[in-house]
Structure 1
């Protein structure tokens, strides 16, 4: 294998290792995102697009060269080459095998380059979504705590208002009781006054009845004396 294809094969193996590290649960998306945003990679990020396009162009060139070699050595089975020597045929098959091998190496290297770029983008997006989800969760927990605090304060205010209403109602009932007691005392005094007045009237009636009885007796006695004189 020539030097350039050895380098491409080594790059392919490196890509396979990188894909396995990104796919397997080796680290969380946050750690990968922190690694992607490190100072070293941030320093290369400005020119990463250019490097990536150059790498893709190189891989495409090697892929096209492998396709050209495949097409070149795949024509050895034509009728013109049927009577070639066995060594030449084996050499042609070996070159065709190398061309096919180079085709697969360059093709997979190109494919894995695109896969790695897509995985890095998806992992970064996932890390950003996880950060947003954690921020939203913390915000929701804060809102829930605030709502609970406001609800407890509202319950306290409602309890205080109910206590104030109860105290007001008790005060009104006490005032009504005092008013009723005053009215009852007034009625009792009025009843006692009427009772005293009735007793006085009864005494006056008894005295008048006694005087009337005395007068009647006097009148009766005077009438009896006059009748005796006439006789």
Structure 2
């Protein structure tokens, strides 16, 4: 294998390793994104598009060269088969060169394909890390909003409970005031009843006294009338 194809094959093996690292759960998308945005890669990011296009151009050139070699040696082998097998060594050399051309075609083709795959994986991993960060931020906002809503509901509940307690306290104070008023009225009524009872007792005593005096007067009158008759 010539030097350039050895380099292309090594680059293909490197791409396979990179694809495995990106596909397997070696690191989280957030870590990959932080690696992609490191200072070293940020320094290369300005020229990354140019380097990538240059790499694709080189791989396309090698792919076209491999296709040309395949067509060349395929045509050569077909002519040898039509001409007979007189030159077995040249036929074997042609088959070997065709095999190498096919091998180079697969190497360059897979290297080109994996370059596109790696670029796409890097973009998808970066987007996934961004979406995860946005979802985490949204979850934190939702949790903070839920906490604020719960605290607001708790405050409203406390305010409502305080209002209910104030209304109950006010009603209790009104009832106590009414009870005090009724008790005062009851005490006044008891005093009035006692005064009326004492007045009734005094009136009864006065009535008894007057009745006794009246009976005494009647007796005196009766005695005086009897005395007058006897005379």
Do they fold alike, i.e. is TM over 0.5? yes
Which residue number corresponds to residue 139 of structure 1?
A: 141
| Equivalent position of 1:77 in the other structure | 78
Q: Deviations over 1:54-92 (max 9, x none)?
A: 221222222222222222222323552334411111111
Paired residue for 2:97?
Answer: 95
Q: 1:162, CA displacement in angstroms?
A: 4.2
Residues 77-136 of structure 1: CA deviation (Å, up to 9, x unaligned)? 355233441111111111110111011001100110011001101111111122122222
Counterpart mapping for 1:126-165 below 5 A: 126-165=128-167
Partner of 1:7: 7
Alignment of 1:100-111 (within 5 A): 100-111=102-113
**TM-score, structure 2 length as denominator?**
0.87
Q: 1:74 aligns to what SS in structure 2?
A: helix
2-structure distance, mates of 1:82, 1:54: 45
Are residues 1:220 and 2:222 paired?
A: yes
Runs of 4+ in 1 over 6 A off after TM superposition: none
Alignment pair present for 1:65 and 2:65? yes
Structure 2 unaligned regions, length at least 5 = none
Between the two proteins, the alignment pairs up a number of residues equal to 229
> Please, what TM-score do these two structures have when normalized by structure 1?
0.87
Helix, strand or coil at the partner of 1:77: helix
State the SS of the aligned residue for 1:196. helix
Q: Distance in 1 between matches of 2:154 and 2:55?
A: 64
- Return 5+ residue gaps in structure 1 as ranges: none
Instruction: Find the aligned partners of 2:16 and 2:10 in 1 and give their Cα distance.
Output: 10
Q: Provide the alpha-carbon RMSD of the alignment.
A: 2.3
